[in-house]
Amino acid sequence: MNRNLKIANSMLDLIGEIPLVRLNRIGMETGTEILVKPEFLNPSGSMKDRVAIRMIEEAEKSGRLKAGSRIVESSTGNTGAAMAFVSAVKGYDFTAFVPSDVADVCRMSIMQSFGAGVASFDVDGEFAEFTGRKRCSDIEGSDTGVWWSRQFANEHAVAAHRDTTAREIIEKTDGRLDAFVASIGSGGTLLGVGQALKEYDPKIRVIAVEPASYPMFGPHRRQSIPGISGGIADQLIESGVVDDVVRLDDEAAIAMAHRLAKEEGIFCGISSGANVAASLIVASGFEPGKRIVTCLCDSRDRYFYSEAYIT
Ligand SMILES: Cc1ncc(COP(=O)(O)O)c(C=O)c1O
């Protein structure tokens, strides 16, 4: 989002260039400055707009995506919404495959509002989390007019964060930060930003946040299917950019999202709450005067109907 822009050519011009916001109440006791990046200010409401536009425009450049192509992706919400938004502006047909166990009415309505098709499917069995990716793979394999963006393995998803999110963090802090904290979905944010920050200053600590109930790092790592899983998450683990991992339970993440709204006026979702709660844990191990940066991935309104979120 170029804030000096008077007339944008389309909503795509409003992606990114999001400032950092200082927390003024939460975490004050730590003596560490916590700066949050409200990525929910992106047009479709999450940081995935950066990824969607980059993946789509790289596919256009390579000739893989042409006028009239159909795009498919497996997503529980934000990537689906972002792909639907960019597809709407560019005139592509987009279908999201959403697992029924997490098919939230709000998130599906956002995708549908941008004109996307939403195909919900039942998940069961050992490799349930890969069902959506398998669907995309099958459809792409049987129809040359279909392109699957492969958010979990697409190198341009990582590059989007390396070239935009990380650049903005370095520019907007004048390069003065001590740690970057981010939760992991595909792993794209942490890998892209982590790589760029380590290249800029290897002393900046890069901290991963993951649900205590669903660890990606360590001995209880979740299972994967070769060829469908792997991708960015595996690269992240092997990259060596992650200095530490903070595990949080859902309640701590939800409670922090509530605090952010009430104490800072920041209307963000659950993983954003997790990022800030984890930042406080990281800050407690720092001497005063340090600075932590974290992202607020999406907005809270998309969780209104998730029962667990309403307390
Ligand atoms: C709400 C939310 N938070 C965090 C993440 C993690 O982002 P990444 O995929 O870059 O690891 C995602 C990814 O989908 C997300 O939707």
Dump pLDDT digits (tens) for 46-98.
Answer: 999 999 999 999 999 999 999 999 999 998 889 999 999 999 999 999 999 98
pLDDT value at position 121? 83
Q: Three-state SS across 160-221?
A: HHHHHHHHHHHHHCCCCCCEEEEECCCCHHHHHHHHHHHHHCCCCEEEEEEECCCCCCCCCC
Q: Cα of 283 to ligand 1 centre, how many Å?
A: 22
Same structural domain, 29 and 107 = no
**In whole angstroms, what is the distance from residue 186 CA to residue 64 CA?**
22
Ligand 1 atom having least distance to the Cα of 192: 10
In the sheet where 33-38 sits, what is the strand order? Answer: 21-22, 33-38, 291-296, 179-183, 205-211, 244-248
Ligand 1 atom having least distance to the Cα of 269: 1
Same structural domain, 37 and 112 = no
Same structural domain, 229 and 262 = yes
Same structural domain, 144 and 268 = no
pLDDT value at position 149? 96
Q: Identify the residue whose tokens are 């959506």.
A: 132
What's CA 277's distance to the chain center, in Å? Answer: 17
- Give the pairing of strands 146-148 and 70-74: parallel
This prediction's pTM: 0.94
Mean pLDDT in residue range 123-148: 85
**pLDDT higher than 90, residue 183:** yes
What range defines the domain where residue 52 resides?
Answer: 48-148
Looking at the domain assignment, is residue 178 inside a domain? yes
Same structural domain, 229 and 129 = no
pLDDT value at position 227? 45
Same structural domain, 65 and 98 = yes
Across the chain, mean pLDDT equals 91
For 197-201, the CB contacts below 8 A with 24+ separation are 197/166, 197/169, 197/170, 198/241, 200/166, 200/170, 200/175, 201/175
Same structural domain, 237 and 199 = yes
Please tell me the total count of domains within the chain: 2
CB–CB of 178/205 below 8 Å? yes
**pLDDT higher than 80, residue 309:** no
Same structural domain, 140 and 245 = no
Looking at the domain assignment, is residue 30 inside a domain? yes
Same structural domain, 244 and 214 = yes
If one residue of 184, 210, 217 were mutated to test the ligand 1 pocket, choosing by the most ligand atoms within 8 A of its CB, it would be 184
Looking at the domain assignment, is residue 177 inside a domain? yes
Looking at the domain assignment, is residue 1 inside a domain? no
Q: Cα of 183 to ligand 1 centre, how many Å?
A: 7
pLDDT value at position 228? 46
Pocket, ligand 1, Cβ cutoff 6 A:
77-79, 183-190, 269, 271, 297-298
Q: Which of 148, 173, 206 is the last residue of a domain?
A: 148
Query: What CATH number is associated with residue 253?
Result: 3.40.50.1100
Looking at the domain assignment, is residue 159 inside a domain? no
Same structural domain, 178 and 259 = yes
CB–CB of 208/190 below 8 Å? yes
